[in-house]
Each structure stands twice: as structure tokens, then as C-alpha cells.
Amino acid sequence: MAEKKIMLGNEAIARGAYEAGVKVSAAYPGTPSTEISENIVKYQEIYAEWSPNEKVAMEVAIGASISGVRALASMKHVGVNVASDPLYTISYAGVNGGLVLVAADDPGLYSSQNEQDTRCVARAALVPVIEPSDSAEAKEFMKFAYEISEKYDTPVIVRTTTRLSHSQGVVELGEREEPADKPYTRNPAKYVMMPANAKGRHVYVEERMKKLSEEGADFPVNRAEYRDTSIGFITSGIPYQYVREACPDASVLKLGMVHPLPKKLIEEFASKVEKLYIFEELEPVIEEQVRAWGIDVIGKEVFTVQGEYSANLLRRVLYGTDNSVQEAAQVPARPPILCPGCPHRSVFSVLNKLKIHAAGDIGCYTLGAVAPLNVIDTTVCMGASISTLHGMEKAKGKDYIKNWVAVIGDSTFMHTGVNSLMNMVYNQGTGTVMILDNSTTGMTGHQDHAATGKTLMGEEVPAINIYHLCKAMGIEHVQEIDAFDLKALEQALKEETKRDAVSVIITKAPCVLLKGNVFPNVCRPLPEKCKKCGACLRPGCPALTKNADGTIAIDETMCNGCGLCQKLCAFDAIACEEK
């Protein structure tokens, strides 16, 4: 009997890629997609890399596909925006070896800056989308995605969501297929997308999508389940499970391919059920098309376009009641916070003290936007900190940004921040850029990047030196400062924000959660010296709490001995000493 294993959705996606014979995988980390690459790398048959950003990752996978092997790119939904340039055009060119892009959407915004629906991108890019409903399907549908990629000469998007990616289910393991490498034959009409060639390919692409829609009626991933026909659902992905949970007797058309839609199958299903609901998270992608065919359905007028769905949501809409038995208690919120000993807290305490605004970026340091640090003013997308600051300067003049900086992490800087910094230099900006270098991609769980000196496959490689990279752009004023050296940070910030030239302050200290990081020290309060001023509490370290008498307590199991609270105490009422 085949081995059964309990697998995270992302682990099952990786397994599916392995079993499909994938040889090359490229990605940039992003919740909820990161664990795909972290599991791919366990298979020695696959070359796997962290690319600096999703566009590069997509192009690496495209190159591998054109050369004749099966290739994978994986990313979160907003990463697809970064990769959309190659995606839209490889849709025209098609593939040689099978090419799959796994896109991880985040309904409910567990860890994202928006709630966009990748199916909308896929419709615009004319790329088919496969959507599994649990870990077992995630693995099987990956293999199916490679089949149709090669059969229909198209890149394929496998769409997952946070709930699927981060849920575990039972998976039956299979053997790895070893498809022979396809020969590469020079074919500019297909692979050189200049106007004359692209015109021809566009004709092909439209035919391809029509064919997929027609033949999709017979794809095994699309399945009509007839039970009670007085009520029917068209659904896909995780919402299918909610339908099965809340309405086990209803008929269901479960779509495994959500773009293009199998029109014949949908028309047939619609004709057999009395009342037809479309149950899809986020945008009304299926609904609008089905309505356009003149089919009467109930959809977004009763189901929200926001957040995650649930069986209880369905019960409330259908039956006016759900399974809940009591109201939720009113309790204080517990939002995520920077860890005890996080170097970002130290840097932000200085920005806060100097009342400097920060154009922010994507990373743990976004948490500097909220109380008590209140430092980050803007967060848009990866790499945007530097360019938005530059835009402010060009709009309002260089004096306007004298109390502003851009803050960006090392991984985000390598992702796309570097382009923005080039622009600031080229177009004669005068902004101050702080690169918070914690030697890793922190928020997604510690992935390496081009400036860490290690690859996804664990190889030691020369690290790109961020200091020299900035210097090579011709930036004269570049400083590296220990992230916990408050005095040096304060002085540098005062100096550099005043300056009429681009300057970069690289703050250095590893992420506290980075493996191998050791903390010899611990901070201990000396209550007899405490003046109860609260200065140590201000940066919001979770290891510090106030006692009933106004002195402070430090939880030694949480404290990492960074010494920030000690440095902020004017009365030597905190000791930072060896454990």
C-alpha cells in the first residue's frame, strides 16, 4: 500500500511538483507560499533557489521550461504582480517543458497588504487556473497542471489560499515521474515576442483558451456531484469544504479548473438544479461569467467579497442561523508585535525620539506603524519606501523631507529597493535611507537572500555587500551602525537627514529568531533605583511589564538581553548582565 503522510498544503504542492518530475524551482518567500520552496529543497532531484524577487523567479522558471524541463515558480498573490510582466507574455509564447506558477492568495489578510484575487490576473493574462481543495488534491492537481501545461502549450497557475497552504491533510505518496528532457529547437516565432510574432501567438492563445473551456468539461478535476437537486452550488478550493460541511445533501459542481470555465458542464449542472448558488471567496469571477451566459444564480448579493468564508457563514445565509451557542467575550486585542530583543525596536525608539517620519516597506518592521512606536507612516509594497520618499521630495521640495527617512529591510532592499535607490541617485534626490540589515528575510521565517552568503540549497556563496553596493552607485555617505548603538544612531540620523545628498544608514544586528543566535545576557530590574518614569516601557518590549507599585518586572524567559531598556533608563535601574 502506498505510504500515507499528513502534509501541509504547501508541502503537498512541493510533493506534487516532485512527483511530476520538476527539475527547476525558483521563488521569493512570501506568506502563505514560503513552505513550498522549503519543502521542494528536500528533494535532491530538483534544483531550487530563492531569487531576489518574483519577476526573476518567474523568468528563471521560464528559461528552464524553454530549455525543455518541467519548471516551477511559487509566490504569494502580490508577488504575482511583480512577476506579471513575464507572466503576461509567456502566456503568448507558451512552454516547452511544463511550466507552473503557484500563486498563494490571502483571503482574510493574515499576512498581506491587500486581498487581491489571482484569478483576475489569470483572466487578464489568458492563463488557465487550477484550484485544489485540500492537501491530497494539491499534490494530484500539481501533476495535472503539468499535463495540461504541455498538452495545451501554456503556463498554468495553481491557485492556493492561506487556508489551503497552511492546513494539513492526509496525502498518499506516489512515485516520481521522470519525463525525458525535451529537445530545445530554435523557434523565434514562438519564443521571441516581438510584435509580428506576438500577433500570431495571440491568435493561438485565444484558440487555446476556447479549447480548454470546451475540453474542460471532461477534465477529471471538474466534477458534478448530484445529490438533492433542489439546491446546487458551483464552488472550488477551500469553499467546497464549507459547502460539504454545511449542506452535505446539496448537489455540487466542484470546479478544479476555475479558468477558463467549462461552459458546457456549468450549463448542464444549472439545468438540473432548482436553485443555484455560486460560493467563491473574494471576487465574483465565476459568477460574472455564468451570469453573462444568461444563467440565473445567487452569489455576491448574499456572500461577501471580503475575508475568508466558513460553513457558519453559509449556514447563516441559507438558514438564518449558525452553530454558535454563545457570544464572543469582549477581550483586549493581542496584535502581533516585534519580538523581545528585536533590533528594529531599538532603531525605531531613536526615530520616535527624534520625531522622524518613516516611509516604510514590507517586513516585520511594518509593526513600527502602531503604538507604542508610531514611526512608520506609509507601507505600500516591496521596495516602495525609498521611491515614495523620493516622490514626496519631488512634490514638496528637499526641506520637506528633512524629518523623514525611508526604512527597508535587507531582503526587501535586494528584492526591489535597490531599483528605487538607483532612481534616487539618478534623479538627484536627497533622502536618507535606512537599511535595517538583520541578515535574513525575517517575517516569512528566515530565508536566505543574495546578501546573506547562503543559498536555499545550503551552499555557501559570496554575499553581496550592501555597503559596497550603495557605494558603487556613487552614494558618498554610507554608514554601517550597530542597531543597538543608540547614540551613534541618533547622531547619524541628525547628520544625514540634514544633508543635501542621498545618504544610507545600514543598521546591523541579526534577527533574534535567527538560528545560531546566542544571547548570553539578561536584563534585570533594580527596583530600589527605579523612579517609575516608564522610559524603559516606551518602546513596547513584551518582556517588560509594570508592577502594581509602578516599578517594572522583566520576564527572564522572554528577555534576550538586548539591553535597550537599560540604555533608555537614566537612573541605572536596570542591569544587563550575564545569565
Partner 1 sequence: METKNIMIVGVGGQGTLLTSRILGGITVRAGYDVKLSEVHGMAQRGGSVVTFVRYGSEVAEPIVEEGCADVLIAFERLEALRYAHFLKKDGVIVVNDWCIEPITVVTGAAAYPENIIEKLKETHQVYVVNAMEEAEKLGNVKAFNVIVLGLAARHMDFDKELWLEVIAETVPPKTVEMNRRAFLRGYE
111, 491, 517, 521: which one contacts partner 1 (CB under 8 A)? Answer: 111
Q: Which of residues 223-242 bind partner 1 (CB under 8 A)?
A: 238, 241-242
Give the number of residues written for the chain: 579
Q: Please state whether 291 falls in left (phi above 0), alpha (psi between -120 and 50) or beta.
A: alpha
290, 367, 376, 436: which one contacts partner 1 (CB under 8 A)? Answer: 367
Binding window for partner 1 (CB under 8 A); candidates: 48-56, 67-75, 167-175, 349-357: 167-175
Q: Does 344 bind partner 1 (CB under 8 A)?
A: no
CB of 138 to partner 1, least distance (A): 12
Coil, strand or helix at 306: coil
Side chain identity, residue 136: A
Task: Tell me the C-alpha distance between 451 and 263, whole Å.
Answer: 49
Q: Which grid cell is 435?
A: 537599511
Q: Please state whether 393 falls in left (phi above 0), alpha (psi between -120 and 50) or beta.
A: alpha
CB of 248 to partner 1, least distance (A): 8
Side chain identity, residue 117: D
Q: Which of residues 386-415 bind partner 1 (CB under 8 A)?
A: none
325, 472, 518, 548: which one contacts partner 1 (CB under 8 A)? Answer: 325
* 16 phi/psi in degrees, rounded to 5: -60, -40
Q: Does 445 bind partner 1 (CB under 8 A)?
A: yes
Contact 29, 51 (CB under 8 A): no
To 10 degrees, what angle do helices 84-93 and 195-215 make? 80
Name the CA dihedral angle for 354, 357, 362, 365, rounded to a multiple of 10 degrees.
Answer: 20
Binding window for partner 1 (CB under 8 A); candidates: 5-13, 190-198, 206-214, 485-493: 5-13
Q: Please identify, using beta-carbon distances, which residue of 373 and 475 lies nearer to partner 1.
A: 373
CA proximity to 456, closest of 51, 33, 55, 17? 51
Q: Which grid cell is 329?
A: 467575550
Any idea what DSSP says for residue 415?
Answer: I
Q: Which of residues 251-280 bind partner 1 (CB under 8 A)?
A: none
CB of 171 to partner 1, least distance (A): 10
- C-alpha distances in Å from residue 177, one per residue of 16, 187, 429: 10, 27, 54
Binding window for partner 1 (CB under 8 A); candidates: 162-170, 190-198, 208-216, 448-456: 162-170
Q: Which of residues 32-71 bind partner 1 (CB under 8 A)?
A: 32, 34-35
Contact 232, 268 (CB under 8 A): no
Side chain identity, residue 174: G
The burial of 89, by beta-carbon neighbours within 10 Å (0-12 exposed, 13-18 middle, 19 or more buried), is given as middle
CB of 221 to partner 1, least distance (A): 18
Binding map of partner 1 across residues 120-149, x = CB under 8 A, - = no contact: --------------x---------------
Q: Does 307 bind partner 1 (CB under 8 A)?
A: no
Q: Which of residues 510-549 bind partner 1 (CB under 8 A)?
A: 537, 540, 542, 544-546
Contact 479, 493 (CB under 8 A): no
CB of 237 to partner 1, least distance (A): 12
Binding window for partner 1 (CB under 8 A); candidates: 197-205, 254-262, 337-345, 397-405: 337-345
Q: Which grid cell is 133?
A: 481543495
CA proximity to 432, closest of 411, 403, 409? 403
Binding window for partner 1 (CB under 8 A); candidates: 90-98, 114-122, 331-339, 388-396: 331-339
> In sequence order, which residues have a C-beta less than 8 Å from that of residue 44 and are 6 or more positions away?
none
CB of 194 to partner 1, least distance (A): 41
Q: Does 377 bind partner 1 (CB under 8 A)?
A: no
Binding window for partner 1 (CB under 8 A); candidates: 320-328, 381-389, 407-415, 479-487: 320-328
Number of residues that bind partner 1 (CB under 8 A): 57
The residue ranges that bind partner 1 (CB under 8 A) are 4-6, 8, 31-32, 34-35, 110-111, 134, 163, 166-170, 238, 241-242, 244-245, 310-312, 322-329, 331-339, 364, 366-367, 371-372, 443-445, 537, 540, 542, 544-546, 557
